[in-house]
Amino acid sequence: MLVYGLDVRFKLSSSRYMDKKIQKGEYLDILLRSSKTVFSNKDVALMWGEKANGPVRVRLNYYVKAKKLIRVHRGLYVKDKNYNRFELATRINTPSYISFETVLGSSGMTFQYYGNIFVASYIKREMEVDGQKIEFIRMKDYVLSNTLGIENSDGYARATKERAYLDRIYVSKKYYIDNTNPLDWEKVFEILPIYHNKRMAKTVKKYYDDFKK
């Protein structure tokens, strides 16, 4: 299974909590001091130096009932309502990263507004969590596991505009990109080989030829 660099850094930074026994009043403090805004049972167990089993869930349930934490989805908790929704979207199914129209729209490449958060993942699924619609789009394992063109920041993985552009063309045979001016074509052609897709390569070349006119 793919583990993005961000997760590796999280594990390394969390290891310091395992070097000493946590005192009774420190469990919640550890979570509140974390830069993460969304926690899974596994995340919490790692930070507390415990196994992700009954005792961890019992303690988390206690904090939810005491209104110290909020459960936003099965097995996922947040400190408060100011959590990062992109971080939440990528924690529901892992590995995953923000891509497609979410990135294309913020980069000025698509002019239509999309309220959904689009996520590249290993499954195809649409759901609504805490009022936010999330669309998971399935990618082949060899594409999903390649981190070229994926950046890690603010607690989640996100495609660059070049990777998001290629992701969309990869999964959609007929799709029109409104504006390709923001693209760095050198980066596009650097990432393109990871898809192993001749049809897609022809589409990209056509976009590039139109851009050069």
Looking at the structure, do residues 63 and 131 belong to the same domain, yes or no? Answer: no
Among 47, 78, 109, the domain boundary falls at: 78
Domain that holds residue 45: 5-78
* 186 and 119 belong to one structural domain: yes
Q: Which of 61, 78, 95 is the last residue of a domain?
A: 78
Helix 161-171 vs helix 198-212: crossing angle, to nearest 10 = 130
Q: Where are the beta strands (DSSP E) in 17-79?
A: 38-40, 70-73, 76-78
Do 150 and 50 lie in a common domain?
A: no
pLDDT of residue 7: 53
Phi, psi of 109 (to 5 degrees): -100, -20
Mean pLDDT of 203-213: 91
Q: What is the pTM of this model?
A: 0.87
Look at residue 159 and give its three-state secondary structure: strand
- Helix and strand numbers, DSSP H then E, in the chain: 10, 9
pLDDT in tens, 75-116: 999 999 999 999 999 999 999 999 999 999 999 999 998 999
Give residue-wise pLDDT tens across range 4-37: 544 544 454 444 444 566 776 799 999 999 999 9
Q: Which of 78, 112, 127 is the last residue of a domain?
A: 78
What confidence category does residue 54 fall into, taking pLDDT thresholds of 50, 70 and 90? Answer: confident
* CATH code for the domain in which residue 29 is found: 1.10.10
37 contact partners, CB below 8 Å, separation of at least 6 = 78, 79, 82, 83, 84, 87, 155
Amino acid at 51: K
Whether residue 176 sits in one domain with residue 91: yes
Same domain, 64 and 99: no
92 and 57: one domain?
A: no
Do residues 29 and 128 share a domain?
Answer: no
Q: Are 137 and 119 in contact (CB under 8 A)?
A: yes
Give tens-digit pLDDT for 154-188.
889 999 999 999 999 999 988 899 999 999 999 99
User: Do 136 and 89 sit in the same domain of this protein?
Assistant: yes
Query: 42 CB contacts (<8 Å, ≥6 apart)?
Result: 52
168, 196: one domain: yes
Q: Are strands 117-121 and 132-138 parallel, antiparallel or unpaired?
A: parallel
Q: How much helix, strand and coil, in percent to the nearest 5, is found in the chain?
A: 45, 15, 35
